[in-house]
């Protein structure tokens, strides 16, 4: 049996779909469905059971069902978290992203269950070196700090009882992210702008970058899922790894990919928001040498390839 937390979310739902394609339907989906529209992300999937995130934590820590579960779970994919980078309620953020993760990891370690979890490239902040090493980690917001603190907790464990893999997701985009609102990807927002007004708006230049030339490591969600599945299939691999393409591309390139797919649209630039100054990553590019060193050899989609596939899927699901 496989547990996927955040199962109705963006990456979690894509992971469940991929597991179904592998023939795995023995999946426990854990999430908070207060935002009920997320049900659509798994409406065409098969799962064995669903637990609210708080209910699941109670079960594995106190309820007898938790003791029954431990002998049936063979992998935990912990994707659930508060991913709102503009959220400044530190108590809420730490409860969701740090404390919950600690309890779940301790359960996994006690019962020798492989544990794959979502970290984030937000731990690097304004660093110019994106390599999995403490001297490069300087988060700009409490979201990034919550992810870094859990990475540090993982590093502090001296006697690891089973596989632990942390994946530092860079800028992920793809199907099933529509519920994320302002936290959805650039590709999603630009495609919505084209549909609504036939026009794309990007930020003007900042921190030495020309208009729309800020660069990010954009990774398609299918590639992120593939890395997760690789880790599950290689139980001897543990550690914290960057999950990016190793190649940065500009926001202009994303915009042009959307315009090319839509075959229409204008591009204009708007002033850079004051509230984001000092809290914004203008450049990210994953160093994926550690990921490659453990045998991950798959190639990654470029923005041009990924955006085309993404928007084509969106059209076919309308």
| Residues carrying an active site annotation | 143, 180
CA distances from 29 to 39, 49, 53 (A): 11, 6, 9
Alpha carbon of residue 166 to chain centroid: 11
Cβ atoms of 115 and 163 within 8 Å: the answer is yes
Q: What are phi and psi of 130, to 5 degrees?
A: -110, 65
- What is the distance between the alpha carbons of residues 41 and 269, in angstroms, rounded to a whole number? 33
Q: What are phi and psi of 155, to 5 degrees?
A: -65, -30
What residue spans of 121-204 are helical by DSSP H?
A: 142-156, 186-197
Cβ atoms of 251 and 206 within 8 Å: the answer is no
Cβ atoms of 140 and 119 within 8 Å: the answer is no
Structure tokens at 257: 């990919």
- What is the distance between the alpha carbons of residues 83 and 96, in angstroms, rounded to a whole number? 10
Structure tokens at 188: 């999603």
Alpha carbon of residue 4 to chain centroid: 13
């Amino acid at each position: 049996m496989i547990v996927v937390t955040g199962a109705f979310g963006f990456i979690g739902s894509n992971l469940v779909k991929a597991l179904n394609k592998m023939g795995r339907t023995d999946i426990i989906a854990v999430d908070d469905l207060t935002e009920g529209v997320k049900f659509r992300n798994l409406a065409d999937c098969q799962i064995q059971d669903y637990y609210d995130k708080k209910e699941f934590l109670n079960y594995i820590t106190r309820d007898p069902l938790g003791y029954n579960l431990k002998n049936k779970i063979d992998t935990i994919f912990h994707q659930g978290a508060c991913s709102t980078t503009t959220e400044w309620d530190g108590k809420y953020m730490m409860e969701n992203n740090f404390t919950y993760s600690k309890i779940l990891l301790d359960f996994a370690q006690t019962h020798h269950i492989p544990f794959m979890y979502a970290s984030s490239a937000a731990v690097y902040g304004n660093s110019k070196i994106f390599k999995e090493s403490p001297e490069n980690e300087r988060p700009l917001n409490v979201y990034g700090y919550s992810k870094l603190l859990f990475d540090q907790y993982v590093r502090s464990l001296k006697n690891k009882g089973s596989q632990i893999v942390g994946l530092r997701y860079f800028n992920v985009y793809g199907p099933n992210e529509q519920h994320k609102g302002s936290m959805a990807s650039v590709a999603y927002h630009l495609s919505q702008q084209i549909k609504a007004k036939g026009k794309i708006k990007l930020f003007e230049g900042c921190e030495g970058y020309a208009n729309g030339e800020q660069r990010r490591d954009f990774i398609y969600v299918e590639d992120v899922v593939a890395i997760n599945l690789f880790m599950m299939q290689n139980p001897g691999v543990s550690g914290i790894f960057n999950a990016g393409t190793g190649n940065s591309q500009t926001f202009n390139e994303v915009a042009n990919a959307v315009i090319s797919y839509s075959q229409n649209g204008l591009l204009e630039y708007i002033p850079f928001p004051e509230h984001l100054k000092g809290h914004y990553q203008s450049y990210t590019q994953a160093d994926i040498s550690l990921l490659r060193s453990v045998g991950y050899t798959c190639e990654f989609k470029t923005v041009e390839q990924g955006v085309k596939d993404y928007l084509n899927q969106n059209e076919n699901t309308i």
